[in-house]
Structure formats: C-alpha cells, structure tokens
Amino acid sequence: MKSSAIAVTGLRKAYGDKVVLDGIDFEVAAGSVYSMLGPNGAGKTTTVNVLTTLMTADAGSVRVAGHDVATGIKQVRAAIGVTGQFAAVDELLSGRENLQLMADLKRVRSRDVVTGLLERFDLVESADKLVATYSGGMRRKLDLAMTLIGKPEIIFLDEPTTGLDPRSRRTMWDIVRGLVADGTTIFLTTQYLDEADELADRIAVLNHGRLVAEGTPEQLKRRIPGGHVRLRFTDPAAYRSAAATLRDATTDDETLSLRIPSDGSQRELRSVLDWLDSVGIEADELSLHTPDLDDVFLALTENTTKEAIAR
Amino acid sequence: MSTISTTLGDSAIMLRRNIKHSMRNPITMFNAILLPIVLMLMFVKVLGGGFDVGVSYIDYATPGLLVMAISYGLGATATAVNDDMTKGVINRFKVMDVSRGAMLTGHVVITTVRALVACAAIVGVAFLMGFDPGASALDWLGVLGVIVLLSFAASWLTVAMGLAAKSVESAGMATVPLIMLPFLSSAFVPAETMDTGVRQFVEYQPFTPIIETLRGLLAGDPSGGDTLAALAWCVGIAVVGYVWAISTFKKRA
C-alpha cells in the first residue's frame, strides 16, 4: 500500500526464551504521528530497534518507507531518522560540530543546513560550546536537530521527552508539530499519556509484547466508561445521608466524596444538578471528570497485569 | 559514489572526530604521552642506578619504555569506544548507514597515531638522557615497523574490549593487563634475574619477544631478538582483536 509509511504484520522478537514482542500488527499512514504507548519493559524500544534496522525480527514482515527492513536495509536507512532514548550526541564536540559531522556523513554540502538548524532549535548562542556543558533539554534538541539532517521522511522518536522539565517537553512538542506540518511521518514511543494525547493521530498501547488497544485518542477514551461528577462533602453526616440517598453513586469514605456516572454533556450535567436539588443534597464541592488516557491506560494494562500474575 | 570511496570518506570524517577528541581531552594526552615519560624518568633516574644490566641503563630500558608508551595509550581508546557504544552514538551511525569499518578504523588509526607520538617523545627524551643506540637507518625503519605493527594490533584488541565491555569503567579496567604486561617482561630487568615461575611467564608472554626485537634493532644487532615470534604475536593479536571487534560490533545494538 502506497499511503502507509510503516506496515508491520506478525512481528515477533524474543531474547532467548523471553518473548519481547508477541506478534504485533500496525500500520502508520504517511504524514501522520503514530504513538506507541506502554510501561517500561513493554517492548517499545525493541519495536523501534527492529523498525530502524538495528535488530532483526524473529518473524513477521516489516515495511518502512515501502521497503522491507530485511531485504532493503540501505533504502530504509536512507529514508529514516532516529532519535534514541538517550541523547546520542558527542560531548567533546560543539553543537555546530555535531551537526556538521552528520552533514559530512550524509554528504550534505551546504553550510546553510547547519546554521539553519541551529537557528530553528534555538541553539545559536551555545553553538560553539562543547556539548558537555549543555543541559538535558539542549542535548535532546541537538539530538533531534542531528536527526533532521538529510531530511528523512520518517522520524523515530524513542521517548523523546523522558527526563525533561515541563518547559523543554513543550518545546519538543512544538518541534514535533512543526515536523508534521512539513509532511514528515513520526513514530513516537512514550510512557506519558498526555504526550500521546497531545501529539498523536493514532495510538497503540503496548503491554507485555502485545498491542492491547489501537485507535485515535478519542476512540480509546470512548472505550472506557470513566466520566463522572464528583461531589465532595466536609461534614461526615451530610456525606452519609447523601450516600444513602444516591444509591447509584460510588462512595469514597476516606475523602467523603461520591461519584455519579456521567458522559460530561451539558444536558446530563443539568439533570444531575436538578435531581440533587430535588432531593435536597448540597455538596461542598462539585467537579466534572471526563475519562482521560490515564484511565484508558490503567484499565487496559491492569487487566493484562492481573492475568500475568494469575498465570 | 563507489563503496570504497564512501568507506574512505567516512573513515576520514571519523578520524577527524577522533583527533578532535584526543586534542580536547587533556587526560588522554597525559596518559598517552606524559605518563610514559614520567615513568621513564623514574625508572632511569631513580631505580635504574640499582639495576645491573651490563649496559647503560637508558640503552637497556628504552625498548621496554617504547612498548609501555604504546600500552598506556590504550585505556583512552577502550573508554572512548565504550562511550560511543553505551551512549548510542554507534547506533546513530549504524542507522545512518555509515560504513561499518569507518567507525572502528577511526579509533584504530588515532590510537596508532597517538602511540607513534608517544614513542617519538620517549626516543627524544631518551636522547636527552644519553641514549646511545647503535642502530643503522635500516634498523630504525625496523623499529618504526614493529611499533606501528604492535600499536595497530593492540588497538584492534582494545577496540574489541571497548565494544564488549558493559560500562565505561569496565572498559578502562579491561586494558589494565595490557598495561601491566610490560612490567612482567624483560622491559626493565633481564628475565634471567627473576624467580623461576615468573621467568617462565616472562619468557612466553608476547611483549618479551617484541621488546627483545626492538632491543636488538636499536643496538644495531637485529639477530639478537626473536623477530619471528614478535611478528607472529603482533599478527595474532591483530587478527583476534579484529575478528572479536567486528563480531561484537554486529551483535550489539
């Protein structure tokens, strides 16, 4: 299929008798952001390593940029850029020299490429300082800038914001959005749900080497009934009488709060409020919760963890 | 571009990187060049007076000091290679389709160049301390050949150890035996003066024939050394190092 940048079917990989990827399938449309989400040890980095030709799969077919990673290594490598989990920058070179090294190796002759990237990533001021003096956020930015030399069509980002402060994370997100705007396909692994929610067109949840869910962020959220209205009381007596009246609500004795299921729409919220008025319940605090990816993620990975423990 | 010119181009780019590293890391330069000279001064000026080796001590010790100068430069190579491996720099190059050999030959060439500089420094200081070799121009060429061959062989072995080590610390430790071996050779005192057990080890370890060959060449009497054994050891170490390095390089992602 021409429109998919990445197509994976039946991918398996084991180290000795430890199965890391247990037959996964997915497809990434060209020009989209695909995020693979999973806890530590789920197999995210192994997937990236196979897709980027660093490892060979035990079974299954993997096509990247239209080429099979087993038979078209050169073509695949020419089309991709990879930013690994740890900033792979050269500490004893300056930022500019790191970029120039990549440009030399890719035989990119123009000097403007390096200067342009330094400006784009806001690294001009430190361009001639040794990378050993850079902060974590600067290293990640430089790492990504190095990946962009030669204009790869598909970029793999393996946990690009792990260990970054909130501001640097947002900078990285903006950079990723900019790349997508230029038509680049992004394959992103992360353990942060907000990151996937923020950036991805489609999300795959990987747990114990299997894809336990796949879809758009909206589709995933709809799978989990987690929306509710939360009523909090300060007076234990008021709490107890409300709990007795509202039989449908889930109770939490510790925080003196009740949860009433709700889809979060204006109409339903009004009917809940009207009903509370009619039965004479007045909570000290009311808040509305829509299911977020955290709910989805916990629900999806919890079950399989329980299964694994039961086994 | 043809494959060979790509490989050469990549190797040149990598070597340029390695040269910058060496110049910017004062500890590397100190270990590789100054430390052997400091040890040389200690052996010749402090300890040497107490050794009776039959000839002027500086003439006796210089060949061993050359070998030691080579081995002291290896630690830096092992840690640099391991650093590239563990920090993901090698993976970055792999994914970019940089010629396989280029990343490793860059390290081998810079190690050999550093060793040559260190040896030149040793010879220079030796002359200042009254070194009086009987070597002809041809013998000197032989000395250069042995030094280059040994550096090249030891570099490949060191690159392999750097690739195989789990951490930078263990990579550095892995080269310690190579640094100790010159002490357990005929570098500083003749083997005949040692205990029987130690002497047997000394006689059969690789550095002894290499040092004796250098000693013979520098004295202007190449037949005095065990040239064939020296060459065989160098070639053997180079082959083992090369095969080990390449297979580890392919395996580890």
The residue of chain A with its CA nearest to that of B251 is A55
Reported ipTM: the value is 0.81
Mean pLDDT of chain A: 86
Backbone angles phi, psi at A303, to 5 degrees: -55, -50
Q: What is the tens place of the pLDDT at every residue in B137-165?
A: 888 999 999 999 999 999 999 999 999 99
Could you tell me the domains of chain A? 4-222 (3.40.50.300), 228-289 (no CATH)
Region A167-173 average pLDDT: 87
Task: Give B81 to chain A, closest Cα distance, Å.
Answer: 12
Q: What is the tens place of the pLDDT at every residue in B202-242?
A: 888 888 889 989 988 888 887 766 888 889 999 999 999 99
Which of the pair, A201 or B45, is modelled with greater confidence? A201
Element (H, E) at B84: helix B74-86
The predicted pLDDT at position B97 comes to: 81
Element (H, E) at B93: helix B89-95
The predicted pLDDT at position A155 comes to: 95
- Token duo for residue B149: 């061959």
Q: What is the tens place of the pLDDT at every residue in A136-145?
A: 889 988 999 9
Beta strand pairing call for A257-261 and A18-29: unpaired
Q: CB-based contact (8 Å) between A108 and chain B?
A: no
Which of the pair, A282 or B106, is modelled with greater confidence? B106
- The conformation of residue B85, written as its DSSP 8-state character, comes to H
Q: Is the pLDDT of residue A306 over 50?
A: no
Q: CB-based contact (8 Å) between A55 and chain B?
A: yes
Q: Which of B8, B11, B96 has the most A C-beta neighbours within 10 Å, making it the best mutation to test the interface with A? A: B96
The predicted pLDDT at position B225 comes to: 61
Q: What is the tens place of the pLDDT at every residue in A104-150?
A: 998 888 888 999 999 988 899 999 999 999 988 899 889 999 999 98
The residue of chain B with its CA nearest to that of A156 is B95
Task: Give B223 to chain A, closest Cα distance, Å.
Answer: 46
Q: What is the tens place of the pLDDT at every residue in B16-48?
A: 998 998 888 888 888 888 888 998 888 888 887
Region A58-79 average pLDDT: 91
The predicted pLDDT at position A307 comes to: 47
Region A15-41 average pLDDT: 90
- To the nearest whole percent, how much of chain A has pLDDT over 90? 37
Q: Is A291 left (phi over 0), alpha (psi -120 to 50) or beta?
A: beta
pTM check: above 0.80 = no
Q: Indicate yes or no: CB of B96 within 8 angstroms of CB of A84.
A: no
Q: What is the full DSSP assignment across B101-164?
A: HHHHHHHHHHHHHHHHHHHHHHHHHHHHTT------HHHHHHHHHHHHHHHHHHHHHHHHHHHH
Picking from B9, B20, B94, the nearest residue to A93 by CB comes out as B20
Using pLDDT thresholds of 50, 70 and 90, give the confidence band for residue A226. Answer: low
The residue of chain B with its CA nearest to that of A52 is B95
d(CA A174, CA A167): 11
The predicted pLDDT at position B111 comes to: 92
Q: Indicate yes or no: CB of B253 within 8 angstroms of CB of A97.
A: no
Q: CB-based contact (8 Å) between A107 and chain B?
A: yes
Task: Give A74 to chain B, closest Cα distance, Å.
Answer: 7
- To the nearest whole percent, how much of chain B has pLDDT over 70? 98
Contacts of B100 in chain A (CB under 8 A): none
Residues sharing a CB contact under 8 Å with residue A58, sequence separation 6 or more, in sequence order: A12, A13, A14
Using pLDDT thresholds of 50, 70 and 90, give the confidence band for residue A185. Answer: very high
The predicted pLDDT at position A308 comes to: 47
Q: What is the tens place of the pLDDT at every residue in B173-195?
A: 888 888 888 888 888 878 777 88
The predicted pLDDT at position B103 comes to: 85
Q: Is the pLDDT of residue B4 over 90?
A: no
Q: Is the pLDDT of residue A301 over 80?
A: no
